Structure 1
Amino acid sequence: MLSSFTLADNIIGFIVDGPYDDVAVERIQTQVKEKLEVFDKLNLYIEDTVNADISLKTVVKSVPFKLKTGNRFDRVAVVTDRKWLQVASNIEKLFFSAEIRIFSSQQRLEAIQWISH
């Protein structure tokens, strides 16, 4: 399951609590595109839960979209306890102008506060 929410007009958030598959990726990309039609820059919050089923293959599939839109983000908060996703997010920092911070699930509120300012 993929839940989305808005913290402010230019902030979009997603919580992955189930399969992170092509359908979930498409939903995220569609919602991001819609927001980018209205705002020049966005802040993004993305969190996975213990029930999330995320594969490296699906994460890699989303790279072209990230490269295309990456310069349109100010801040990206990644909330995960998965070490390999933390490493992947740290690698992405090298390719994007957005400020990307990684938070553990225990730091969820800190991530929300950071992404909101």
Structure 2
Amino acid sequence: MITIQTMDNLVIVAVIGEFTLADYKEFEEQVLYKAHFDGQVNVLFDWRDMLDYTVDVAWEEIKFMREHGREFNRVAVVTDDQWQAWSAWVSNLFIEADVLVFSDYDEAKDWVSTDE
């Protein structure tokens, strides 16, 4: 399950439990909508409560990032899990945005909210 908040050019996505393909599709819609009206999007992924994700999510993420990687400006990922941090690093290969992993939510939000 995910929750999505949007403000200005920032999309905040919190994943709780399992991250499913339907959740990822909802994220995609929000990003494309925001990018259409606001230009490049900053994204804050809060993965602290994510337990797992389905294989089709990983594949969809790669496809989406390859096709829409220019839509992103900054991506912050909040997690303490090394595999999730590695996943964020892999995503960075497909987009031109700055991607950083944080263990502190407030630091991540401050960084991703700054347009430099």
Q: Same fold (TM over 0.5)?
A: yes
- Find the counterpart in structure 2 of residue 35 from structure 1: 34
1:113 aligns with 2:102: no
Stretches of structure 1 lacking an aligned partner (at least 5 in a row) = none
Q: Which moved more, 1:47-56 or 1:23-32?
A: 47-56
Counterpart position of 2:90? 91
Residues in 2 aligned to 1:40 and 1:15: alpha-carbon distance in whole angstroms: 22
Residues 21, 54 of structure 2: 8 Å contact kept: no
Q: Which AA in structure 1 matches 2:92?
A: K
Structure 2 length-normalised TM: 0.88
Identity of aligned residues (%): 27
Give the residue type in structure 1 aligned to 2:113: S
Q: 1:94: how far off? A: 2.7
> Aligned pair in 2 of structure 1 residues 47, 38: CA closer, same or farther (>3 Å)?
same
Runs of 4 or more, structure 1, over 6 Å off, are none
Amino acid at match of 1:4: I
Q: Contact 2:65 / 2:91 at 8 angstroms: preserved in 1? A: no
Matches within 5 A, 1:1-117: 1-6=1-6, 8-104=7-103, 107-117=104-114
Which 5+ residue runs of structure 2 have no aligned equivalent? none
Find the aligned partners of 1:95 and 1:28 in 2 and give their Cα distance. Answer: 17
Report the Cα distance in structure 2 between the residues aligned to 1:62 and 1:51, rounded to whole angstroms.
Answer: 16
Q: What is the TM-score with the length of structure 1 in the denominator?
A: 0.87
Q: Secondary structure at the match of 1:70?
A: helix
